[in-house]
């Protein structure tokens, strides 16, 4: 049974796989970082629940479709599975900025969906790991602890919002592997 204090919610592009300013539009462009696959595996094998919450406005923009996205996520699940790990859920927002949905980060709709689907009463104390401010804002809206990684848009995020590194609340890591190293070190 998942527990909020042993749940890590990951942004996808720029955290799990290479991001692109031109969007990740095909299975060939979906390039998971090996360190991220290993990190997810280490987390899940240590008893943590790992989920993914990703904005995919490229669908609304017509750059790719749901079946292409599903193929990327099948690839991701199989890479993690082959490494001995597990992803509990992958949820995405297919909408565009002007669609007025409640699930496009920084709105927390993807995270409350994860909370409900995982049968949790709250996400208080869970981790939200992202490369963009909107990821962290979505997490904090529902009580998640924010962690920023420097991969993907992370360096750009820090350059635009330098206070994130000094706010004493947001943890900053070079990549997902470094976050998992830190998180698991602190475990009994």
Ligand X SMILES: O=P(O)(O)OC[C@@H](O)[C@H]1O[C@@H](OP(=O)(O)O)[C@@H](O)[C@@H](O)[C@@H]1O
Site residues (CB under 6 A) for ligand X?
11-14, 19-21, 23-24, 54-58, 97
Q: What is the DSSP string of 5-71?
A: GGEEEE--BTTTB---TT---SGGG--B-HHHHHHHHHHHHTT-EEEEEEE-HHHHTTSS-HHHHHH
- Quick one: which of 92, 104, 145, 153 contacts Zn ion (CB under 5 A)? 104
Per CB under 5 A, contacts with Zn ion among 65-94 are: 93
The answer to whether residue 5 is catalytic is: no
The answer to whether residue 28 is catalytic is: no
From the list Zn ion, Mg ion, ligand X, none, pick the one residue 103 interacts with, judged by a Cβ distance below 5 to 8 Å according to partner type: Zn ion
From the list ligand X, Mg ion, Zn ion, none, pick the one residue 35 interacts with, judged by a Cβ distance below 5 to 8 Å according to partner type: none
From the list ligand X, Mg ion, Zn ion, none, pick the one residue 175 interacts with, judged by a Cβ distance below 5 to 8 Å according to partner type: none
For helices 66-82 and 34-45, the axis angle rounded to 10 degrees is 60
Does the bond joining 9 to the residue before it have cis omega, within 30 degrees of 0? no
From the CB of 88, what's the least distance to Mg ion, in Å? Answer: 19
């Amino acid at each position: 049974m998942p527990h909020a204090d042993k749940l890590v919610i990951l942004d996808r592009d720029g955290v799990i796989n290479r991001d692109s300013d031109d969007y990740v539009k095909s299975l060939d462009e979906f390039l998971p970082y090996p360190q991220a696959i290993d990190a997810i595996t280490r987390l899940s094998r240590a008893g943590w629940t790992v989920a993914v919450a990703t904005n995919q406005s490229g669908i609304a923009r017509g750059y790719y479709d749901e079946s292409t996205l599903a193929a990327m996520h099948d690839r991701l699940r199989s890479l993690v599975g082959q490494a001995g790990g597990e992803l509990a859920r992958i949820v995405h927002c297919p909408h565009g900025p002007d669609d007025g949905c409640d699930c496009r980060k920084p709105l927390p709709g993807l995270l409350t969906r994860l909370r409900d689907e995982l049968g949790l009463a709250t996400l208080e104390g869970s981790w939200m790991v992202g490369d963009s401010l909107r990821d962290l804002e979505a997490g904090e809206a529902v009580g998640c602890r924010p962690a920023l990684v420097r991969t993907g848009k992370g360096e750009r995020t820090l350059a635009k919002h330098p206070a994130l590194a000094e706010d004493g609340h947001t943890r900053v890591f070079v990549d997902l592997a470094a976050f998992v190293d830190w998180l698991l070190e602190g475990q009994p």
